């Protein structure tokens, strides 16, 4: 009897272990920006594939990178920005994609695939998810004039009414561009000038934020904020007094893309997830929910609201894009210099 009981327990444990192993193989671990997906699409993916999504969020590229690099948590799919993808490729952190498992990549506009080759030559490691610009969102009832320049962020007249973006590359891009320099500058003299400008701005700033800029501007808690275009679209819908502008000096144009870390647990599940997100109806759901511009031509065709489809904020005219530049990865030494100067700028 003891032998039979022991055998029964052993068989039960084997079944449970086999079940756990199978269950783990039917998961996909996704690491994405905050509020950057329609959660209903995750439910649909689980229903259609039987693969459960384990989902986590981050606020900045610089928060995401060390977690992926350390391997402390093994993610299957991550959504970094262009320059960070370049860094991850150079540091051998990403799998090459098997595009046979991502046939829906055919719906991605060739323009965005071509743009992606600046940081991912040959489109081997990434699939575009969203794109947009960096600009200023302002409350027309709380400023004295229409805004068209980054200069308003350094104007003492708006002291206490300015929400600055808490992002080292974005903040330095604004200062560098306003000073007439390249937003990818590696010139330490130019970077020091930009730091001094940001130091002078520090007493004028109400606070440094990323996601909260949207809600504070909607609520009338500040007059001016630095924001990404997708957030601006949502904010303007909630508060019609808000208006978005890409300043005349120029700005950053960016692409966030799906990638698969080399230390992932389930590469095929990851490719199934990316393929699902590239399906036009799913891409449309995400566009309508997060309001960030979709690079998915199939989804764009499905947009029924002509005003949204032709929005100059979501899909800027060529003359705006011509004065925008993408970030490049500048190397670890320059990253340290940028970060040191950013910390100095916020400590004066």
Per-residue model confidence as pLDDT tens digits over 245-283: 999 999 999 999 999 999 999 999 999 999 999 999 999
Per-residue model confidence as pLDDT tens digits over 206-242: 999 988 999 999 999 999 999 999 999 999 999 999 9
Confidence tier at 25 by pLDDT (50, 70, 90)? low
Q: What is the DSSP string of 11-38?
A: HHHHHHHHHHHHHHHTEEEEEEETT-S-
pTM for the full model? 0.87
**Average pLDDT over every residue of 31-53:** 97
Contact predicate 323/250, CB 8 Å: yes
**Average pLDDT over every residue of 195-200:** 97
Where are the chain's structural domains?
26-131+255-314, 132-253+321-345
Per-residue model confidence as pLDDT tens digits over 150-194: 999 999 999 999 999 999 999 999 999 999 999 999 999 999 999
pLDDT at 22 over 70: no
Domain 132-253+321-345 in CATH 3.40.190.10? The answer is yes
**Average pLDDT over every residue of 11-25:** 40
Q: What is the DSSP string of 145-208?
A: S---SGGGGG-GGGTT-EEEE--HHHHHHHHHHHTT--TT---HHHHHHHHHHHHHHGGGEEEE
Predicted local distance difference test score (pLDDT) of residue 215 = 95
SS3 230: helix
Same fold, 26-131+255-314 and 132-253+321-345: yes
Predicted local distance difference test score (pLDDT) of residue 21 = 35
Q: Measuring CA to CA, which residue among 86, 87, 77 is closest to residue 36?
A: 77
Predicted local distance difference test score (pLDDT) of residue 348 = 61
**Residues of the chain above pLDDT 90, percent:** 88
CATH topology of domain 26-131+255-314: D-Maltodextrin-Binding Protein; domain 2 (3.40.190)
Contact predicate 170/214, CB 8 Å: no
Predicted local distance difference test score (pLDDT) of residue 320 = 95
Per-residue model confidence as pLDDT tens digits over 63-96: 999 999 999 899 999 999 999 999 999 999 999 9
Task: Calculate the average pLDDT of the chain.
Answer: 92
């Amino acid at each position: 009897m003891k032998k039979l009981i022991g055998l029964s327990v052993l068989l039960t444990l084997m079944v449970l272990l086999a079940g756990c192993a199978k269950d783990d193989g039917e998961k996909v671990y996704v690491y994405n920006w905050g509020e950057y997906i329609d959660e209903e699409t995750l439910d649909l993916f689980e229903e259609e594939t039987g693969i459960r999504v384990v989902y986590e969020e981050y606020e900045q590229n610089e928060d995401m990178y060390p977690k992926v690099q350390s391997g402390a948590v093994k993610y299957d799919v991550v959504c970094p920005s262009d320059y960070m993808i370049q860094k991850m490729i150079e540091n051998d952190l990403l799998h090459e994609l098997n595009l046979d498992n991502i046939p829906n990549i055919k719906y991605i506009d060739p323009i965005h695939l071509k743009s992606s080759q600046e940081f991912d030559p040959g489109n081997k490691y990434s699939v575009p998810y969203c794109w947009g610009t960096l600009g200023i969102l302002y409350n027309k009832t709380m400023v004295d004039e229409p805004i068209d320049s980054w200069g308003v962020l350094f104007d003492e007249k708006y002291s206490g009414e300015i929400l600055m973006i808490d992002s080292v590359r974005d903040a330095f891009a604004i200062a560098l561009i306003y000073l007439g320099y390249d937003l990818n500058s590696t010139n330490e003299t130019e970077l020091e000038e930009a730091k001094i400008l940001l130091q002078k701005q520090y007493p004028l700033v109400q606070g440094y934020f990323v996601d909260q800029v949207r809600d504070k501007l909607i609520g009338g808690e500040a007059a001016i904020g630095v924001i990404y275009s997708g957030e601006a679209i949502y904010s303007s819908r909630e508060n019609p007094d808000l208006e978005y502008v890409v300043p005349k000096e120029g700005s950053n144009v960016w692409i966030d893309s799906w990638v698969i870390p080399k230390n992932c647990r389930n590469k095929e599940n990851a490719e199934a997830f990316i393929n699902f997100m590239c399906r036009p109806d799913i891409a449309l759901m995400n566009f309508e929910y997060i309001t960030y511009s979709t690079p998915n031509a199939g989804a764009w065709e499905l947009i029924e609201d002509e005003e949204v489809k032709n929005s100059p904020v979501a899909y800027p005219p060529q003359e705006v894009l011509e004065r925008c530049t993408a970030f490049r990865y500048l190397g670890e030494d320059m990253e340290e210099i940028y970060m040191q100067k950013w910390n100095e700028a916020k400590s004066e």
